[in-house]
Chain A
Amino acid sequence: MAKNTFRETAKKITKIREKAFDKEKIDKLREKLGKIQHEYDAELAIEEQKRAALPAEQNPLNECPR
């Protein structure tokens, strides 16, 4: 006999979501991701500076398609 347990399962799934997006957890993660992204932005800026310092003919951005 089929039992109507869908509501219980749905409640469990809602709890799983709430736990995954718990505010404290989200705040910690945001901080961690901010650091990773900040480092990446710094890396990108350095690369950009290096590219800008290259003579125009060596800059890959200035390569013309044949």
Chain B
Amino acid sequence: MIKKSAAEMAAALSAGELTSVELTQAHLDQIAKVDGDVHAFLHVDNDGAIAQARAVDEKRKSGERVSPLAGVPLALKDVLVQKGIPTTCGSKMLEGWRPPYDSTVVTRLKENGIVILGKTNMDEFAMGSSTENSAYGPTHNPWDLSRIPGGSGGGSSAALAAFEAPLAIGTDTGGSIRQPAAVTGTVGVKPTYGGVSRYGLVAFSSSLDQAGPCARTVLDAAYLHEAIGGYDRMDSTSINEPVPAVVAAAKDGNIKGMKIGVIKELQGDGYQPGVLKLFNQSLEILASLGAEIVEVSCKYFDYALAAYYLIAPSECSSNLARFDAMRYGIRVGEGSAEEVMNATRQVGFGREVKRRIILGTYALSSGYYDAYYGSAQKVRTLISRDFDNAFGKADVLVSPTAPTTAFKIGEKANDPIAMYLNDIATIPTNLAGIGGMSVPSGLAEEDGLPAGFQIMAPAMKDDRMYKVGAALEAALLTKWGKPILDNAPALGAK
């Protein structure tokens, strides 16, 4: 049962084939079995999850209407606050902190009766591409436990790939949903900026952050997207429009006549040959389904990485200033408030976080603002224009999600620039605020590890991604004869 899709589980619950308590328990058992190896979870809420499941079962029994995904379990990235449940953001700074409020995403999950199993591991404060920056140890890729699961949301994607949950929530600032999805053979979606509320999402880079659905199938992600998305009055940057009809689009999957734009700058050198091969094969499949493949050029994308690594650290240097040992979080050190602040931030933050705070502080400094942050904001405009032009020629734009498959844990840990290059294909979407999705494109021939196919749509047209993603997914399923994750090694062998 745990290998089924969320939609299938929901159907089974609806048909009375099993209860949510049973379904939830099965997942908790799986977590107990494999998470010692995978380490996707930082906190498992056994009692809470069963209680939530029971409540849904009772509601269903009494004949009350329940949401489509009611009773289906989910893993929640530890960057979203959940009242009374430990929320660490993968950092020592928030060790033991139990928020006194729920994020809007959690409120909506609860309203939909989706059972939250626990909080998943992540790069500290969402900064990283491998989940190696977690203060609580890395998560291991279920495909090969010696490899990274991607980041910053490696825990959520690994949980899906290890069948610890059929649904997960991640957050994406520069690719932190999509890149882990790509290297774990799962589906991950970053909605249009403003499409999902950021209230309760611990901020890393406020103008780039976005929470999104993660699942093993495109349709599952669509259901989850509709459950969590939509206007929130608590978030001033929330879009006041209905959620795009993503479930309908995922079910539709008919891409005849759609124009698919291949971004010239997001391939070539720096991309693993096997990954590129899978990408091109996917393009052929889409063409065979009736789509027209066109080439587009987005010349300013070459500056995207640079702009991102100015904007994100700048915003984060300000967002993380609140962690000062005065109101919550750990407190270490003696002496004055200033001394305690300095000592706590030294101990509470890890290396990557400190690096970005210092970089961001510099980029915003008087005298340097125009050259760095100010210039980066201009590059952002140029990239948005590139996208606008490209979307004038195509309905969706595509690229490989990440340049490589999963690398070994420790391989890039000491080379920040090499690490940052993991995001090279995903970053432009965050800068422009449009939506991006990764669906598995297959296993790379060099190493047999998963790679992802990225689909991007214009702002607020997320449904297009789901349509194309569903089409590709269905065609690949036919080609492979089985879901990609069936190829993953069995875990938790006693």
Answer yes or no: are A and B bound together in one complex: no
